[in-house]
Amino acid sequence: MNDIPTRASAVIIGAGIVGNSLACHLARLGWRDIVLVDKGPMPNPGGSTGHASNFIFPIEYSKMMMELTRDSTEQYKALGVFTESGGIEVARTAGRMEELRRRGSAARAWGIPARHLSPAEVAKLVPYLDESVILGGLYFPTVGVVDSLRAGTLMREEAQQSGALQVLAGTEVLGIDTAPGGRAGRKVATVRTTKGDMDTDCCVICCGVWSPRIAQLAGAHIPLTPVVHQMISVGPVPLFADTVGEIAYPIVRDVDTNMYERQHGGDMEVGSYAHRPIIVGPDDIPSIEESVLSPTEMPFTQDDFDPQLLQALELMPDLLGDERVGIRYSINGLISMTPDGHPALGETPEVSGLWSVAASWIKEGPGIARAVAEWMTGAVPEIDIHEADISRFHAHQRTTAHVTARAREGFNKMYGIVHPSEQWESGRPLRLSPAHDRERDLGAAFIETAGWERPNWYASNENLLERYSGRLMPREAEWESRWWSPIINAEHLAMRDSCGLIDLSAFAVLDITGPGALAAVQSAAVAQLDVRAGRVVYTSLLDEAGGFRADLTIMRLGPETFRVVTGGATGMMDKQWLRDQLPADGSAQISDVTSSWATFGVWGPDARTVLQAVTDSDLSHGGFPFATCREIEIGGVMVLASRISYVGELGWELYVPMEQGARVWDTIWAAGVPHGLVPVGIGVYGTTGRLEKGYRAYGAELAADYNLVEAGMTRPKVKLQPFRGKEAYLAQREQPPCAVLCTLTVDDHRSAAGTLRYMLGGEPILTPAGESLTDAKGRPSYVTSAGSGPSVGKHLLMAYLPAGHAREGNRLAVEYMAEQYPVTVAVAGATPLFDPENTRVRS
């Protein structure tokens, strides 16, 4: 019955919701000879799927998670295991009421039905809730519950019945052997189990909380940690005695107390994310035999939950305070948490053919499985899952210390009010620029990117506030002034008036070298890279469907040497993407040299004057043209200077050997201050400077579901050489775009309460009558980036608009905090709002 095959096309480890769904989707995509292995019994092998509360709210903070949840919900519905119950997020505090208004707008942006309710309206839907405890609620009618074990069984059986899948229950994986080869240098060869060994090129880890341990068998990392989520189930609830089915009342998320209450038949489940974070080591999970209930249902630690009992009683006093209703089940359930809260999906960077599909919840499991199955099959996943790509993690982010610290910090934010610029506090500072001490002394307000401490603005520039008074668009509302300062706008204006010094050391710097280097970059990049040494090329990288995969600059430093500079946050993903483009013959290598190079930018009308004062090299427009790079000497240090700009000003990026960085900073500082040089933070570089110039950002405007034509980034000619995504791109050029990236200005910021409000991104764009805008591909229009444009005196929004609405001067509206504000399309396309002729950059 359990004859083990000697070879499999794919070995899936773990038969929870993810593994079962993945087996099904691979089978649907034509895979055969798949084996699904689990050490536990079917249908509930003892992982987190077995104790999940199984409810699905359609709203998420991330577009990716929202789309995965939507796809999963559709799959559950198709399997007939979804029951719609509705769900309500209730607010106990004024701050939360504000958050619900923001969430309502976000729901609107994604086409998710949502309605604000008064306390009495909440109580009407949930009669056992004490309305005096709450200020209001946000009702999501499409919330529902699923039977995830049944769904997994159905999907597993579908794959079995199609003859594609063999299931090995009660089979423990003992080892994953690797062999030399593959893009990573090592590839999966054999999966060893208690029932025998199987040769395979493809092993997929769907092991939830056990994933790190299983990955370790092959020498790979899956950065997640098991974390306790406490849940109790109380019953029998007399009120539920007469209800039909599993659930008849809406699920309540009591978000201010980090709790939820959900009917489950005759019982009420009360779950909490409020207790102290309890991290469980991957080796401290009991075996199936040792477990009292199951390995992921660990003994309940009552003291941790007691404070939550009071809060639950406050909200539902009669139902939960009934002496006849008992706590029948209580667990410390284990769930998976990654350092940034997103799943860990994709081929591991360390071992080719070893895939991770981990840190998924019930709500996104089937959607994730479908996306990864598409990816494994060589297709571009329909849902852009790059934010969950396991290759995103930098080395330090894979350390146990980092994973547990961030999981600890993230746990209590599960239902928290999370600001778009929210900063992590643990594990900092870690990566420091050589100018860090100088920046700290200048009063830098640091934010973190990929472990780097980056100045957002400098308190030392406070004196500029007076100079630019009246042009700074100060923000009255606390929410919008969080992680923000009017100093950012003052730095922006000072840079445009004289010049600014910006620390960009968080850039990821990747060198591609060898005889095959040109072929590698040519095959990856849209732009022509067969240029003379000393050219700097700004380019997009596309996937096969012509969606954006990266947006970066490449310097040709020599015949066989290219230097790729990209954002710190996406650096490791871009590295893996480029690695996979290297010629198979080993004629080119890629190496991460980020830690070797500090990067400073000097931009502004006086940038040439300042830099020329510290170097003998010719920096004239003719002598050092735009989009070129070369080595120059600054104060006895050999510096690679690159004349480009992301802020729309004359100037250079300077790549300085890390240990000599402080000297170069000091040299420029001393020469620049007399000319009005100011330190400028990332608040300018990442937002205000680029928005005025219409420069797009990867992850915001540039995402896999939009293309170069829609983004207004086509060039007159397409290079002759092949590159990834070329066919799709050529086809896109033949079609009129069904959406156009526009820059909009906000015409009136005053709210009904009389406060000036400033959008931060993610808000829906509406017609003046308040109707949603959706393009011909069904994509809703929403704000991809938002920020001040101090030089143009407007708050700027970028958004893809349906082609018919992308007309300059077109008047529309943006919804923010449940109110509408008038906006005008200022630019349809890529023409900068500031300095439209680009004379500054090319002066």
Residues lying near another protein in the complex (CB under 8 A)? 234, 284-293, 298-300, 302, 306, 309-310, 312-313, 320-328
Helix (H) or strand (E) holding 572: helix 571-579
Considering the complex, state which of residue 285 and residue 654 has its C-beta at the smaller distance from another protein. Answer: 285
User: Residue 722: is it exposed, middle or buried by C-beta count within 10 angstroms (0-12/13-18/19+)?
Assistant: exposed
CA distances from 115 to 104, 112, 818 (A): 7, 10, 10
Return the amino acid letter for 242.
D
Is 345 in a helix, a strand, or coil?
strand
**Residues near 17 by beta carbon (within 8 Å), at least 6 away in sequence:** 49, 52, 148, 151, 152, 360, 362, 365, 366
Give how far the C-alpha of residue 831 lies from the chain's centroid of Cα atoms, to the nearest Å.
28
User: Residue 469: is it exposed, middle or buried by C-beta count within 10 angstroms (0-12/13-18/19+)?
Assistant: exposed
Catalytic site residue from 25, 51, 221, 229? 229
Cβ–Cβ < 8 Å for 10, 376: yes
d(CA 216, CA 214): 5
d(CA 167, CA 649): 61
Return the amino acid letter for 425.
E
551 carries an active-site annotation: yes
306 carries an active-site annotation: no
N-terminal to C-terminal alpha carbon distance within the chain: 77
Considering the complex, state which of residue 213 and residue 428 has its C-beta at the smaller distance from another protein. Answer: 213
Considering the complex, state which of residue 42 and residue 637 has its C-beta at the smaller distance from another protein. Answer: 42
Cβ–Cβ < 8 Å for 457, 485: yes
Considering the complex, state which of residue 38 and residue 439 has its C-beta at the smaller distance from another protein. Answer: 38
Pairing relationship of beta strands 165-168 and 34-37 according to DSSP bridges = parallel
666 carries an active-site annotation: no
Peptide bond into 277 cis (omega under 30): no
d(CA 22, CA 37): 12
Return the amino acid letter for 38.
D
Considering the complex, state which of residue 1 and residue 94 has its C-beta at the smaller distance from another protein. Answer: 1
Partners of 166 in the β-ladder:
35
* CA-angle at 278, arms to 276 and 279, nearest 5°: 145
Q: What would the 3-class secondary structure string for 169-225 be?
A: CCCCEEEEEEEECCCCCEEEEEEEECCEEEECCCEEECCHHHHHHHHHCCCCCCCCE
d(CA 711, CA 830): 8
Catalytic site residue from 543, 551, 574, 606? 551
**Residues near 216 by beta carbon (within 8 Å), at least 6 away in sequence:** none
Considering the complex, state which of residue 296 and residue 570 has its C-beta at the smaller distance from another protein. Answer: 296
Considering the complex, state which of residue 161 and residue 287 has its C-beta at the smaller distance from another protein. Answer: 287
**Residues near 378 by beta carbon (within 8 Å), at least 6 away in sequence:** none
| Distance of closest approach, residue 235 Cβ to another protein, in angstroms | 8
Considering the complex, state which of residue 298 and residue 541 has its C-beta at the smaller distance from another protein. Answer: 298
Cβ–Cβ < 8 Å for 268, 235: yes
d(CA 54, CA 145): 6
Considering the complex, state which of residue 313 and residue 465 has its C-beta at the smaller distance from another protein. Answer: 313
Cα four-point dihedral sign 598, 604, 607, 610: negative
**Residues near 276 by beta carbon (within 8 Å), at least 6 away in sequence:** 304
| Distance of closest approach, residue 208 Cβ to another protein, in angstroms | 17
d(CA 41, CA 812): 57
d(CA 532, CA 232): 67
Considering the complex, state which of residue 50 and residue 780 has its C-beta at the smaller distance from another protein. Answer: 50
| Distance of closest approach, residue 286 Cβ to another protein, in angstroms | 3
| Distance of closest approach, residue 247 Cβ to another protein, in angstroms | 21
Considering the complex, state which of residue 314 and residue 462 has its C-beta at the smaller distance from another protein. Answer: 314
Return the amino acid letter for 192.
R
Catalytic site residue from 128, 249, 260, 273? 260
Active site residues: 229, 260, 551
